[in-house]
Structure 1
Amino acid sequence: MSYDGVVTSSEQFHRWFAERGRATDYRVKEVPLDRLTGWHTDPDTGNLVHHTGRFYTVEGVQVSVRDGASWSQPIIVQPEIGILGVLAKEFDGVPHLLMQAKMEPGNINTLQLSPTVQATYSNYTRVHQGNPVPYLEHFTDPRRGRPLADALQSEQGSWFLGKRNRNLIVETTEDVPVRDGFRWISRALLDELLAVDNLVNMDARCVLAALPPAPAFAAPDEDSFAGALARSATAPAHPATLLSRFTALKSRRQLTRRRIPLREVAGWHRTADRVVHDGGRYFSVLGVDVEAGDREVPSWSQPLLAPASRGLIALVTRRVDGVLKVLLQARTEAGTFDTMELGPTVQCAPANYPAGGPPRPAFLDEVLRAPAGHIRFDAVHSEEGGRFHHAENRYLVVEADDAFPVDVPEGYLWATLGEVSELVRHAHYLNVEARSVLTCLHSLRTP
C-alpha cells in the first residue's frame, strides 16, 4: 500500500531530494564581518553582536583545566534552548520518520536531510518576524503524541559555550499532512542514507541516536561483527558501573572559564574580513550573506565559524567474550556544559598534530592505520550548518583485533551498545560527536 509523502525506496528518495535542490534558489556569499546586515562589532569588546541582542554572539573565552592546559579562543554564546524534533509514525507496521530537506548556510552542499523541526528559540518564537515553523505543535503540545525520547543535549563544546537543545522523538497516530520539503522515511532507509557523504545532517544524526534499538538482522549467536553488535545491544547492561567510573573522573576534573572580550583573545587577531588564529590553525570566524526562498526568512546575514581542516571522529570497537564493546573518551572542552562528557575514541583534526608537533591524541594512529577489512563504517558528514562553515568530519567505526588492549589509559571507558543507548537518552553524558557516531554504529544493525 502506498501513502502520500512516504518514500518507499532509495531511488525514490534521491529523485525527490534532487528535485528539492532544484526547486529553490539558494545563495550564500562570503562577506567581510563589518558588512554583515543586522550585526555590528561592539566598540568596547570587539564582540560580534546582533542588533536585536538575540540569536547569538561571538565572544572570547579564557579556559583552564586543573592538571591540564589553559588557553583562550573565540566562542559562540547562544544561551537559548532550541528544539530538534523528529516525528515518528508507523505505516503498515513499519516505523517511519518525518524528515526535512533543509538548507543551512554553512552546509558544504547547501541542502541536507534534517529533523522534522530544527529551530532555535528565536526562530520558533519568531523574533525575526518570519513564517511559523512547520510541525512545531507536535513537540510543544504534549497532547499531540507519545514521546519516545526527550532530553536536553549539548552541542559542540569546542565552539559553543554551554549550548543545549531539547532533543525529541514523538510518535503520532494522527493523519499528518506532508508539506513540500518533507517526507516520511523508514528507519532502514535512513540507515542506508547515513552511508552517503554529507547527506544526513548533524542534528538528525544526534536526535536519531536516542531511537529505541532497531531489530538486528544478524542472529545473536552469529560469529560476525553484526552478531557481536546484536549481543552488545541485548547483553545485560550495567550503566550504574559505567556512570560510577565516569563520575569519578568528572569529580577529579576542574574546569575554570570566563568570558572575555573577543579583542582580548590571545593568539587570535581580526583581519579586514575575518577573525583568525595567528598560526592559521583551528578555525576562523567569517561572515555570509544568505538567500533562501524556502526558509522562515528569505534572506539574512550572519557570522559562521570555519574550521581550518577536516576533522576525524572515530569509534573503536572490540569483541570481548563475543560481545562488541565501544571505547569512549571522557572529554573536557572550552564550552562543555557540565565539565566533562563522554566522547568518541578519537575526536580531533589530524592536521593540528603534524610530525614533530604537539603530542598526538591517543589511538589516532591506530585508527588511521586500521586495515580496510576492520573499518565497519566510513563516511564524511557535516557538522551544524547553521553556525559552522563547511565543517566536515570523517566518521569511522573501526573494529580492533584481539591485540588491541582491553586495559586502556585513564579517561577511556569500554561500554556495551546497550549501556551507551541508555546513557544517550539522558542529558550531559554523551557529547554531540559521540551521539552522531553512535547513530552511524546503529545503522550497521539493519541489512
Structure 2
Amino acid sequence: MVTSDVAARFARSATERDTAVLSTAEFHRWWARRCEVDQFQVTPIPFAELDGWHFEAASGNLAHDSGRFFTIEGLRCQGDAGREWTQPIINQPEIGILGIVAKEFDGVLHFLMQAKMEPGNVNRLQLSPTVQATRSNYMRVHQGSRTRFLEYFLEAKRGHVLVDVLQSEQGVYFWRKRNRNMVVEVTEDVPEHEDFCWLTLHQLLDLLKVDNLVNMDARTVMACMALSFPPDRPPAPTPFQEALLRSYDPAYGGVHTPTEIISWFNERKAVSDWRAHRIPLRDVAQWARTADEIADADLSRFRIMAVRVGAGNREVTRWSQPLLAPCHDGLAAFFTRNIGGVLHLLVQSRSEPGLLDIIEMGPTVKLPAVQDGGADREGHSVPFAAELAAMEPERIRFSALLSEEGGRFYHAQTRYQIIELDESFPLDVPPAYCWLTVHQLMDLVRHGHYLNVEARSLLACLHAVS
C-alpha cells in the first residue's frame, strides 16, 4: 500500500519544476539521439517463416516451441442475454514485471526510464519502465542477454518497495493476463547506461501530452503512484483544476462512500451474464486463417499476423513472433463533473471476456466497443458515445494519441481524452455507471482487478492535468 508519506513524495515529484537532474530540453536531445542511433527493422512475414513457433496439430493453437512466452488460442464467450461468439485470444499465463527504479536527487524522487523498442510500436521507440519483462524473458528462455536492472525487483534488500500491485491488461485480447506494477526506491549508485535516463514525475506527466511517447507499461505504473497534495497548497489557477485538486483530498468526500462503491461494483458482477472459456484455435468460428493472417470475416475487429524483428538494444537482437493487429484506433474518455466543488469521474463497469472477473472499472466511453463478437466502431449502442462525439472542443481538458502494448500488439493506438461536463449533465446515470473522485480511484488502484488498463492510463493522464 502507498503510505501518505510516499504519496506526498510522489506529489512533490509531480509538481517540482526546477529540480530535475535532466532538463526537459536535455531529455529531448537525448531522445533524438536514441532514435537516431538505435536502428530497428520490423517486417511482416508469412506464418511459415516464423522461427521457433508452430501451429499445434491437435488444437491449431499458435505456440512457441519452448512452451513458454504466450500462445494464440481460441475463446468461447457468452455475453448479455446469452448471446455467444468465438474469437482468438492471447494466453500469457506468466506474471511479468513492469518496474520503475526510483531515487531521490536534491530531495525529489526521480524515476529511471528506458528508451525501449517494441516490434508493434507505431514509431518503434517509446519511453518505458526501467524493467519491462515477461518471466520467460528474464529467465532467459530466449538464450539472450540478461534483463538490465532486474536485480532491483527480484532482490528485496536492494531497495525499498513503494508500489507493488498485480494489474490486468486488455481483456478483449488477453486471457487473464497480469503483471506486477512496481516502484522500488534505491539509495545506492545506479550504473549509467545510454538507453536510460532519470526524470521527475512532473516531467513524465508532461511527456504524456506528446503522442506515442510514454508507453502503456509506463502509464500503468505511473497510475499506481498515489498523489497527496498538502492541505495548505496555493489555490489552483482555474475552477476546473481547483475542483480536481480537491478530488485528490479524502477530506472533501464524494457523492458515494467507499462501501457504496464496492457494493455497486459487486452488484454489477453479480448480475452479469458474461462467461468465457478457452477453446482450441481451430474451433473458432467465422475467422479464417491464410498464409499471412488470422482475421474475422468482415475485418472489423483484429487480425493475428507475424513479424521478423531486428533490434540492436534488446536482450535478443533478432527474432520472430506473432502480433495482434487491431483494425481500428481506439478511443477512451473519462467524463468529469464538478459536484459540490469536487471533481468526480463517471466510471463504467466494463465487461471484457478475458478478464479474471469479467468486469473491471473502465472509462465512461471506450470505442471500438466489442459486443457479442462484433466491433461497434462508432459507438451507436454505447451510452454517452453520442455526447462525446458532439462535445465542444473547449471542454476537452486532455487529448493524446497513445500506444498500447507494443510487445503483443501491432500499431495499436488509443485516443485518450478527459472531458469537463457542465452542471446541466444529470447526476442520475445508468446502473452500469458510477461517480467517483480521484482519491477513490487511487484507493482502488492499490489493488488488482478494479481499474482496467484504459482507466489506469486515463488516471495517469488526469495527474498530468492537475
TM-score (norm 2): 0.91
Distance, in Å, in 2 between the alignment partners of 1:25 and 1:101 is 12
- Give the secondary-structure state (helix, strand or coil) at the position aligned to 2:277: strand
Distance, in Å, in 1 between the alignment partners of 2:342 and 2:463 is 15
* CA deviation string 1:9-38 (max 9, x = no partner): 221111101111122220000001222111
Identify the residue that residue 367 of structure 1 maps to in structure 2: 388
Distance, in Å, in 2 between the alignment partners of 1:281 and 1:220 is 48
Give the deviation of 1:191 after TM superposition.
1.1
Distance, in Å, in 1 between the alignment partners of 2:236 and 2:353 is 44
Residue 274 of structure 2 corresponds to residue 259 of structure 1: no
- Conserved? CA contact 1:115–1:204, under 8 Å: yes
Give the deviation of 1:128 after TM superposition.
0.9
Identify the residue that residue 376 of structure 2 maps to in structure 1: 353
- Give the secondary-structure state (helix, strand or coil) at the position aligned to 1:420: helix
Mapping for residues 80-91 of structure 1, pairs under 5 Å: 80-91=94-105
Residue 308 of structure 2 corresponds to residue 289 of structure 1: yes
Of the candidates 437, 440, 443, which is equivalent to residue 461 of structure 2?
Answer: 440
Of the candidates 150, 161, 165, which is equivalent to residue 175 of structure 2?
Answer: 161
Residue 411 of structure 2 corresponds to residue 395 of structure 1: no
Give the deviation of 1:157 after TM superposition.
0.4
Identify the residue that residue 409 of structure 1 maps to in structure 2: 430
Give the deviation of 1:68 after TM superposition.
5.4
Residue 218 of structure 2 corresponds to residue 204 of structure 1: yes
Distance, in Å, in 2 between the alignment partners of 1:426 and 1:350 is 26
* Structure-2 change in CA distance of 1:137 and 1:193 (3 Å): same
Identify the residue that residue 241 of structure 2 maps to in structure 1: 226
Identify the residue that residue 12 of structure 2 maps to in structure 1: none
Residue 251 of structure 2 corresponds to residue 240 of structure 1: no
- Give the secondary-structure state (helix, strand or coil) at the position aligned to 1:203: helix
Identify the residue that residue 3 of structure 1 maps to in structure 2: none
* CA deviation string 1:36-67 (max 9, x = no partner): 11111112222111111110000110011353
Residue 446 of structure 2 corresponds to residue 425 of structure 1: yes
- Conserved? CA contact 1:7–1:13, under 8 Å: no
Give the deviation of 1:223 after TM superposition.
5.5
The 10-residue stretch of structure 1 (95-104 or 242-251) with the greater mean CA deviation from structure 2: 242-251
Distance, in Å, in 1 between the alignment partners of 2:334 and 2:303 is 27
Distance, in Å, in 2 between the alignment partners of 1:268 and 1:7 is 52
- Give the secondary-structure state (helix, strand or coil) at the position aligned to 2:217: helix
- Give the secondary-structure state (helix, strand or coil) at the position aligned to 2:197: strand
Distance, in Å, in 2 between the alignment partners of 1:69 and 1:195 is 40
Distance, in Å, in 1 between the alignment partners of 2:316 and 2:357 is 34
**Structure 1 portions without partners, runs of 5+:** 1-5
Aligned length: 438
Identify the residue that residue 296 of structure 2 maps to in structure 1: 277
Give the deviation of 1:222 after TM superposition.
6.3
Identify the residue that residue 344 of structure 1 maps to in structure 2: 363
- Conserved? CA contact 1:63–1:71, under 8 Å: yes
Identify the residue that residue 404 of structure 2 maps to in structure 1: 383
- Conserved? CA contact 2:368–2:377, under 8 Å: no
- Give the secondary-structure state (helix, strand or coil) at the position aligned to 2:422: coil
- Conserved? CA contact 1:167–1:207, under 8 Å: yes
Give the deviation of 1:152 after TM superposition.
0.7
Mapping for residues 10-49 of structure 1, pairs under 5 Å: 10-49=24-63
Distance, in Å, in 1 between the alignment partners of 2:236 and 2:310 is 54
* Aligned-pair identity (%): 50
2:302 maps to a residue whose letter is F
Of the candidates 283, 298, 317, which is equivalent to residue 298 of structure 1?
Answer: 317
2:240 maps to a residue whose letter is F
Give the deviation of 1:254 after TM superposition.
4.1
2:147 maps to a residue whose letter is V
- Give the secondary-structure state (helix, strand or coil) at the position aligned to 2:170: coil
TM-score (norm 1): 0.94
- Conserved? CA contact 2:243–2:341, under 8 Å: yes
Residue 336 of structure 2 corresponds to residue 317 of structure 1: yes
Give the deviation of 1:418 after TM superposition.
0.3
- Conserved? CA contact 2:21–2:105, under 8 Å: no
Identify the residue that residue 144 of structure 1 maps to in structure 2: 158
- Give the secondary-structure state (helix, strand or coil) at the position aligned to 2:60: coil
The 10-residue stretch of structure 1 (21-30 or 303-312) with the greater mean CA deviation from structure 2: 21-30
The 10-residue stretch of structure 1 (219-228 or 105-114) with the greater mean CA deviation from structure 2: 219-228
- Conserved? CA contact 2:229–2:248, under 8 Å: no
Residue 64 of structure 2 corresponds to residue 50 of structure 1: yes
* Structure-2 change in CA distance of 1:262 and 1:230 (3 Å): same
- Conserved? CA contact 1:34–1:41, under 8 Å: no
- Give the secondary-structure state (helix, strand or coil) at the position aligned to 2:81: coil
- Give the secondary-structure state (helix, strand or coil) at the position aligned to 1:88: strand
Residue 203 of structure 2 corresponds to residue 182 of structure 1: no
The 10-residue stretch of structure 1 (200-209 or 360-369) with the greater mean CA deviation from structure 2: 360-369
